[in-house]
């Protein structure tokens, strides 16, 4: 039986992280949603609270939130469609302190008409912050949606020094 480990980091209501001890499997701002996602992919897994198994990602998260880290380098196991994986990989290229629009990501993928599909893929990001989907904004500097809510997205962008949105 597969074992998965959970930990939370207290910031703006909490960030829940899940790992198999080797790779980050999920992250999110709602622990119930994170556990639900894990149960979907691993129906017979055993989930236990064990922050020691997530020590590296917890440390990197703290460094990021204190402004000492600009990117995460923890191994992540991503599950998604080929299109979602392409979108998430494109999002990873957005530098710290910068933003990109859904349309520009679609354009980078080869078809500007895919901006709504890009938005849906952004909304299913299994590891927000690690894949920095908070850096994806709407046209004309509209904030756009975020898994942690607009206030958290705004706070993260401010933390990175992004001007007002």
Give the span between the Cα atoms of 153 and 137, in whole angstroms. 10
Q: What is the DSSP string of 81-133?
A: -HHHHHHHHHHHTSPTT--EEHHHHHHHTT-GGGHHHHHHHHHT-SSBTTB-G
Which tokens hold the place of 142? 């509209």
Q: How far is CA 73 from CA 31, 65, 115, 155, in A?
A: 23, 15, 28, 22
Which member of 4, 129, 133, 156 is catalytic?
133
Q: What is the DSSP string of 17-31?
A: EEE-SSSEEEEES-H
Write down the residue that tokens 């001890």 correspond to: 21
Give the span between the Cα atoms of 17 and 60, in whole angstroms. 12
Is 133 known to be catalytic?
A: yes
Catalytic machinery residues: 133
């Amino acid at each position: 039986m597969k074992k998965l480990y959970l930990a939370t980091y207290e910031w703006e209501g909490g960030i829940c992280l899940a790992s198999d001890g080797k790779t980050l499997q999920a992250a999110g701002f709602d622990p119930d949603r994170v556990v639900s996602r894990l149960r979907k992919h691993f129906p017979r897994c055993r989930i236990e609270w064990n922050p020691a198994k997530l020590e590296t990602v917890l440390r990197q998260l703290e460094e990021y939130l204190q402004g000492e880290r600009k990117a995460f380098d923890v191994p992540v196991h991503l599950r998604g469609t080929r299109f979602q994986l392409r979108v998430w990989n494109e999002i990873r290229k957005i530098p710290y302190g910068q933003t990109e629009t859904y349309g520009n990501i679609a354009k980078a993928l080869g078809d500007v008409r895919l901006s709504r599909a890009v938005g849906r893929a952004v909304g299913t990001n299994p590891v927000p912050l690690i894949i920095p989907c908070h850096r994806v904004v709407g046209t004309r500097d509209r904030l756009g949606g975020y898994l942690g809510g607009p206030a958290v997205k705004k706070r993260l962008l401010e933390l990175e020094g992004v001007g007002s949105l």
